Chains A and B, each alone.
Chain A
Amino acid sequence: MRGTYLSLVRARQIYYTTTRFADVFAQSRRAPLPLAERLRALPGVKAVQTRVVEDVTLTVPGLTEPATGRLISLPTHPGSADDLDRLTLTAGRLPAPDSDSEALVSQTFATANALPLGAHLGVILNGRWKELTVVGFALSPEYIYEIGPAMIFPDNRRFGVLWMNREALGTAFQMKGAFNDVAIATATHASVPEVLDAVDRLLAPYGGLSAYDRSEQPSYRFLSDELGEIEVNATYIPTIFLAVAAFLLYTQLARLISIQRSQIGLLKSFGFAAWRIGLHYLEFALCIVAAGLLLGIAAGIPFGAALIGVYRLYFHFPALTFRVTAGVLVTASSVALSAAGIGALSAVARATRLAPAEAMRPESPRRFRPGLLESLPWTERLDPMSRSIIRNLARRPWRAALSVAGIAMAMATVMVGRFIFDAVHHLVATHFDAAERQDVTVVFPDVRAPRALASLRALPGVLSVEPFRVMPARLRAGPRSKRVSILAVPPSGQLYRIIDVRGNRIDVPPAGVVLTRKLGEILAVHPGEMLRIEQLDGKRLHFSARVVRLSQEPIGISAYMDSAALATILREDAAISGARLRIDAREAPQLYVQLKRTPAIAGVSIRAATITTIGQIMNRSFILMTTVMTGFGIVLVVGMVYNSARIALSERGSELASLRVLGFTRLEVTQLLLGEQALLVIAAIPAGCALGALLCRLLIPVFDRELFRLPFLLTRATFAFAALITLSAAILAAALVAVRIARLDLIGVLKSRE
Chain B
Amino acid sequence: MRTNPEAGLWLFTATQNTSGSRAVQFIRTIPDRENRAACAWCARGIEWSAHCDKPMTPPGAHTPEHAAMNAQTAVRTDDPTPPVMSMRAVSKIYRMGEIDVPALRAVDLELHAREFVVILGASGSGKSTLLNILGGLETPTTGTVRYLDHELTAADEPSLTRYRREHVGFVFQFYNLLPSLTALENVELVAQIAPRARDAREVLERVGLADRLHHFPAQLSGGEQQRVAIARALAKRPDVLLCDEPTGSLDFPTGRRVLAALEQANREFSTLTVLITHNAAIAAMGSRVIRLSSGRISQTQVNERRASAEEISW
Q: A665 on the interface (CB 8 Å rule)?
A: yes
Q: How far is the CA of A664 from the CA of B218 in the complex (A)?
A: 23
- Establish whether residues A663 and B218, one from each chain, have CB atoms under 8 Å apart when the complex forms: no
Whether a CB of chain A sits under 8 angstroms from the CB of B260 is no
Q: Does B124 contact A (CB under 8 A)?
A: no
A384 touches B186 (CB 8 A): yes
Residues of B within 8 A of A613 (CB): none
State whether A369 and B216 are in contact (beta carbons under 8 Å apart), knowing that A384-B192, A661-B135 are contacts in the complex. Answer: yes
Q: Which residues of B, 238-268, contact A by the 8 Å Cβ criterion?
A: 244, 249
- In the complex the two chains form, is B185's CB within 8 Å of A665's CB? no
List chain B residues, Cβ under 8 A from A384.
181, 185-186, 188-189, 192
Min CB distance, A525 to chain B, in Å?
Answer: 65
Give the residue name and chain of the B residue nearest to A746 (CB).
B137
**Chain A positions 640 through 668: 1 when the CB is less than 8 Å from some CB of chain B, otherwise 0:** 00000000000000110011111111101
For the complex, what is the distance from the CA of A365 to the CA of B192, rounded to whole Å?
Answer: 26
Q: Are B132 and A368 in contact (CB under 8 A)?
A: no
How far is the CB of B194 from the nearest CB of chain A, in Å? Answer: 8
**When A663-B193, A665-B158, A750-B172 are in contact, do A368 and B179 touch as well, CB less than 8 Å?**
yes
A-B contact pairs, 21 of them (CB 8 A): A365-B218, A368-B180, A368-B216, A370-B216, A384-B185, A387-B180, A388-B178, A388-B185, A388-B189, A395-B180, A655-B176, A655-B179, A662-B165, A662-B190, A663-B161, A663-B162, A665-B158, A665-B165, A668-B193, A747-B132, A750-B137
Q: B135 — which chain A residues lie within 8 A by C-beta?
A: 661
Q: Does A383 contact B (CB under 8 A)?
A: yes
A392 within 8 A of B: yes
Q: Specify which chain B residues have a CB less than 8 angstroms from the CB of A366 in the assembled complex.
A: 179-180, 218
Given the known inter-chain contacts A662-B165, A751-B128, please indicate yes or no for A383 contacting B192, CB distance below 8 A. Answer: yes
Among B164, B180, B214, B233, point to the contact of A391 (Cβ < 8 A): B180
The verdict on A753 contacting chain B, using a C-beta distance below 8 Å, is yes
Q: Which residues of B are in contact with A by a Cβ distance under 8 Å?
A: 128, 132, 135, 137-138, 158, 161-166, 168, 170, 172-174, 176, 178-181, 185-186, 188-190, 192-194, 214, 216-219, 232-233, 236, 244, 249
- What is the size, in residues, of chain A's interface with B at 8 Å between Cβ atoms? 34
Q: Is the CB of B185 within 8 A of A387?
A: yes
A365 to B161, CA, bound (A): 29
- Please determine whether A388 and B181 come into contact, CB atoms closer than 8 angstroms: yes
Q: Is the CB of A665 within 8 A of B161?
A: yes
Q: Does A739 contact B (CB under 8 A)?
A: no
Say whether B214 contacts A754, CB under 8 Å.
no
The interface bits of chain A over 383-399 (1 if a CB of B lies within 8 angstroms of the residue's CB, else 0) are: 11101100110010000
Question: What are the interface flags for A661-695 relative to B under an 8 Å C-beta threshold, 1 for contact and 0 otherwise?
Answer: 11111101000000000000000000000000000
Q: In the complex, are the beta carbons of A370 and B180 less than 8 A apart?
A: no
- Given A370-B214, A385-B189, A747-B137, A663:B178 Cβ within 8 A: no
Instruction: Give Cα A661 to B216, complex, Å.
Output: 21
Contact, CB under 8 Å: B172 / A663? no
B156 to chain A, nearest CB (A): 13
Shortest beta-carbon distance from A388 to chain B in Å: 4
A381 within 8 A of B: no
Additional pairs, 18, CB under 8 Å, beyond known A370-B214, A387-B180, A659-B178: A366-B218, A367-B218, A368-B217, A368-B218, A383-B189, A655-B176, A661-B164, A662-B233, A663-B161, A663-B164, A665-B161, A665-B165, A666-B161, A746-B137, A747-B132, A753-B174, A753-B249, A754-B176
Residues of B within 8 A of A609 (CB): none
Q: How far is the CB of B241 from chain A (nearest CB, A)?
A: 12
Judge whether B166 and A749 touch: CB under 8 Å: no
Set B165, B181, B188: member contacting A664, Cβ < 8 A: B165
The 5 closest A-B pairs by CB, nearest first: A663-B165, A658-B176, A663-B164, A384-B189, A384-B185
Q: Considering the complex, give the chain A residue whose CB is closest to the CB of B179.
A: A366
Residues of chain B within 8 A (CB-CB) of A658 are 172, 176
The contact of A392 among B180, B189, B236, B244, by CB within 8 Å, is: B180
A712-752: which have CB < 8 Å to B?
746-747, 749-752
Give min CB distance, A657 to chain B, whole Å: 8
Give chain B residues whose Cβ lies under 8 Å from the Cβ of A665: 158, 161, 165
Q: How far is the CB of A185 from chain B (nearest CB, A)?
A: 76
Report chain A residues within 8 Å CB of B190. Answer: 662-663
Within 360-378 of A, Cβ neighbours of B (below 8 Å) are at 365-370
Cβ contact of B179, chosen from A365, A664, A668, cutoff 8 A? A365
CB neighbours of B132 from chain A (8 A): 747, 750
Q: Which residues of the partner chain A approach B138 to less than 8 Å between Cβ atoms?
A: 747
How many Å from the CB of B159 to the closest CB on chain A?
A: 11
When A384-B181, A384-B186, A655-B179 are in contact, do A754 and B174 touch as well, CB less than 8 Å? yes
Contacts of B128 in A (CB 8 A): 750-751
Which B residue's beta carbon lies closest to that of A749? B176
Smallest CB separation, A399 vs chain B (Å): 15
Within residues 325 to 383 of chain A, which ones have a CB less than 8 A from any CB in chain B? 365-370, 383
Q: Which residues of A contact B244 (CB under 8 A)?
A: 750
Whole-angstrom CA separation of A78 from B216 in the bound complex: 91
Q: Would you call A661 and B137 a contact (CB within 8 A)?
A: yes
Q: Which residue of B lies closest to A394 (CB)?
A: B180
